[in-house]
């Protein structure tokens, strides 16, 4: 069991799980683990990010490494620009009071479980804090944003003249970049969630709350809307009617448009997606929740497209990781000549009901696992239940899926009640 790392890096509430001291120590350990090389560091727009970025830089220098601090930058940009390591100070889609640290290797891959365990071993080794300080360096760069934007527009953009689109930047790292990318390609852009103040990231906007985006599209009569999360590695959409289009649907549209023969998804992916892929002869590889597991599967299977229902979309053509802006640009190209509603209608959707049961310890009760297995056997593919511990929050996540909402509700409620009873 990893002590610090979860599904996506080290994450928690600032001042509680995430402290300046921990971040500085983590930087020192990671730099020692990686051979005291050059570490490229970006952050999202959280107010806490400024202090934590500085702390991470100090830790790198204390270990004898070279810190390159880039300021506010989307996570996929850091992956592209990683040196010996790439690091993002971000809590991604979590509320403003959270922050964290995500790592990429020199090739832009998220670190494996084994690598994270090795860093933890360095961090917890006897005498770690008593190690003599080395003399590293801290530099700051300001051109990273321009380099990233040029790469994405050239490799994933197309002529979007005539497209009317709402772009919700979640008051995060895409607040300036995303609207500029769409405008550069000829779209008429209505930008929202693009005024970060350090306290409003993911707050009532972005991929975690699509109500504002939906309302904006309907009120302005736009063609569609796209929404990113705070650090830019997720994208969701709404169609011309304001209806939500999730990551499964985006992935389905792209899979057919790109004519792939393999796609990697997680256990959360809608059964309707699997049915569509089966009909079209596209092989599906299923992984645990977490975009890094999807990425690992794609590299293992030599695939080029994968993602999560939550909005991580990975296109390995000219990229190394999931990128919300790249996926949004590809989606706009894929629906050319039709509405988004028409494009996603090809995928049947099973009803899904989810519940997060807050717990004091992230451990799924054996009784809940056993009951979930029994239910899944009885459903025989016509529905399912899934219960798992969150990798980023102190909750047990329960999913019920069926052809009807009522049945999905019943399945989810059965397992959630059992978790509460066992852990209450």
Query: Catalytic residues, which ones?
Result: 92
CA geometry: angle 294, 22, 40, nearest 5 deg: 55
Q: Hey, what are 15's tokens?
A: 């001042």
Residue 156 backbone class (left: φ over 0; alpha: ψ -120 to 50; beta: rest): alpha
Rg of the chain (C-alpha set)? 21
Yes or no: say if 286 and 265 are a contact pair by the CB < 8 Å rule.
yes
Q: Please report which helix (H) or strand (E) contains residue 87, including its range.
A: strand 85-89
The conformation of residue 35, written as its DSSP 8-state character, comes to: T
> Of 308, 395, 392, 309, which Cα lies nearest the Cα of 98?
392
CA geometry: angle 22, 110, 361, nearest 5 deg: 55
Query: Sheet harboring 383-389: ordered strands across?
Result: 351-358, 395-402, 383-389
Yes or no: say if 263 and 305 are a contact pair by the CB < 8 Å rule.
yes
Q: Distance between CA atoms of 10 and 95, rounded to whole angstroms?
A: 15
DSSP-assigned states of every residue in 277-304: HHHTT-EEEEE-SSHHHHHHHHHHHT--
DSSP-assigned states of every residue in 233-278: S-EEEE-TTS-EE-HHHHHHHHHHHHT-SEEEEETTS-HHHHHHHH
Yes or no: say if 316 and 304 are a contact pair by the CB < 8 Å rule.
yes
Say if residue 278 is exposed, middle or buried (CB neighbours under 10 Å; 0-12, 13-18, 19+).
exposed
**3-state secondary structure (DSSP) of residue 396:** strand
Yes or no: say if 184 and 205 are a contact pair by the CB < 8 Å rule.
no
């Amino acid at each position: 069991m990893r002590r610090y790392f979860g599904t996506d890096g080290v994450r928690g509430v600032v001042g509680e799980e995430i402290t300046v001291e921990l971040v500085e120590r983590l930087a020192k350990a990671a730099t020692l683990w990686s051979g005291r090389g050059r570490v490229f560091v970006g952050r999202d727009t959280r107010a806490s990010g400024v202090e934590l970025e500085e702390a991470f830089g100090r830790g790198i220098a204390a270990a004898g490494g070279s810190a390159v601090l880039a300021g506010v930058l989307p996570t996929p940009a850091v992956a592209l620009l990683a040196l010996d390591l790439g690091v993002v100070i971000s809590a991604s889609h979590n509320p403003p009071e959270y922050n964290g640290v995500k790592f990429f290797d020199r090739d832009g891959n998220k670190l494996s479980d084994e690598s994270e365990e090795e860093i933890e071993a360095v961090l917890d080794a006897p005498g770690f804090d008593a190690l003599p300080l080395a003399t590293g360096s801290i530099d700051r760069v300001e051109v990273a944003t321009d380099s990233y934007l040029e790469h994405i527009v050239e490799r994933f953009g197309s002529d979007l003249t005539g497209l009317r689109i709402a772009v919700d930047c979640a008051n995060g790292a895409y607040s300036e970049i995303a609207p500029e990318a769409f405008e550069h390609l000829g779209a008429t852009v209505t930008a929202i969630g693009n005024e970060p103040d350090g306290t409003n990231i993911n707050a009532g906007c972005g991929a975690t709350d699509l109500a504002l985006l939906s309302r904006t599209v309907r009120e302005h009569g736009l063609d569609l809307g796209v929404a990113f999360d705070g650090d830019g590695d997720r994208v969701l959409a709404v169609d011309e009617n304001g209806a939500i289009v999730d990551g499964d649907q985006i992935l389905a549209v792209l899979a057919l448009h790109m004519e792939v023969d393999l796609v990697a998804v997680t256990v959360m992916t809608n059964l309707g997606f699997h049915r569509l892929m089966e009909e079209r002869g596209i092989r599906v590889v299923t992984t645990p929740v977490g975009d890094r597991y999807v990425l690992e599967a794609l590299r293992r299977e030599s695939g080029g497209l994968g993602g999560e229902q939550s909005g991580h979309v990975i296109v390995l053509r000219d990229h190394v990781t999931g990128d919300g802006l790249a996926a949004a640009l590809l989606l706009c190209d894929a629906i050319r000549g039709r509405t988004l509603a028409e494009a996603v209608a090809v995928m049947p959707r099973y009803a899904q009901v989810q519940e997060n049961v807050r717990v004091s310890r992230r451990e799924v009760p054996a009784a809940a696992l056993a009951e979930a297995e029994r239910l899944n056997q009885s459903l025989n593919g016509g529905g399912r239940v899934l219960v798992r511990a969150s990798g980023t929050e102190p909750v047990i996540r329960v999913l019920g899926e069926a052809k009807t909402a009522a049945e999905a509700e019943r399945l989810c409620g059965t397992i959630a009640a059992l978790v509460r009873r066992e852990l209450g």
